[in-house]
Amino acid sequence: MSVAVRQAVAPPGASARPMPGFAPVTALLEQLRDVVTLLPPSLYLARPAARVSGSVGEHVRHCLDHVSALVGAIGGEPLSYDRRRRGTTVEIDPVTAVSEIERLLYQLNRLTVTDRHVTLSAVVDAGLPALTMQSTIAREIAFVQLHAVHHCAIIAVLLEWQGCRVPDGFGLAPSTTRARHAGRQ
């Protein structure tokens, strides 16, 4: 079965664009929303093999958990990408995923802080306590966006395996796109 997936386009009457610092994350979320919108649950849940790390839905949920952690940190919550909500409806229902993307876009469109410092807690070794370090919202925006691009690349592979077309550039790192435009593969 072939499902055509369209490029992300701002809907008519869309709210004002967010502060430029959040633009890469919101643009990626918009593109992810447009891909997920067209997926039937069977494609959203499928895995090509038992050893594959996640379905499209699981990768979408993972991306959204990271964005949600960032939004929460801007609101004053502790920042940890390790606290995730595995097994939620976002993983199994594309309609719920689109609603969650819209909720996060709404929140991102109202944020203005990018230069504030935050304390990040990260588990880097399962046998050790979490590390605590200082970061900035701007640095975490970059991390969340690039991390989501990586998962969108996996989503693209999963969809192409199922016979779907994905938008050109979906899941490509900005540096790869820049290199291709400059003629360096």
Domain borders along the chain are 20-181
**Local confidence band at 9 (pLDDT 50, 70, 90 cut-offs):** very low
Contact in structure between 114 and 140 (CB atoms under 8 Å): no
113 versus 40: the higher-pLDDT residue is: 40
Instruction: Give the count of beta carbons closer than 10 Å to the beta carbon of residue 154.
Output: 17
Helical axes 56-74 vs 94-108, angle rounded to 10°: 20
- A 10 A CB-CB count for 66 gives 20
Query: Does the pLDDT at position 94 exceed 50?
Result: yes
pLDDT single digits (tens) 123-149: 999 999 999 999 998 899 999 999 999
pLDDT given for residue 184 in this prediction = 66
The residue count for the chain? 185
Q: What's the pLDDT at 6?
A: 28
Tokens of 30: 């918009």
CB 55 within 8 A of CB 40: no
pLDDT tens digit string along 28-84? 999 999 999 999 999 999 987 777 778 999 999 999 999 999 999 988 888 999 988
Residue 83 confidence (pLDDT): 83
CA-CA distance, 170 to 149, in Å (whole number)?
8
Dist CA 24 CA 35 (whole Å): 17
DSSP string, 149-167: HHHHHHHHHHHHHTT-B--
Residue type, 54: G
Query: Residue 107: CB partners within 8 Å, gap ≥ 6?
Result: 71
Whether pLDDT at 1 is above 50:
no
Q: CA triplet 126, 148, 116: central angle to 5 degrees?
A: 80
Q: In whole angstroms, what is the distance from residue 68 CA to residue 140 CA? A: 12
What CATH number was assigned to the domain covering residues 20-181? 1.20.120.450
8 A C-beta contact, residue 144 and residue 65: no
Is 48 in contact with 160 (CB distance < 8 Å)? no
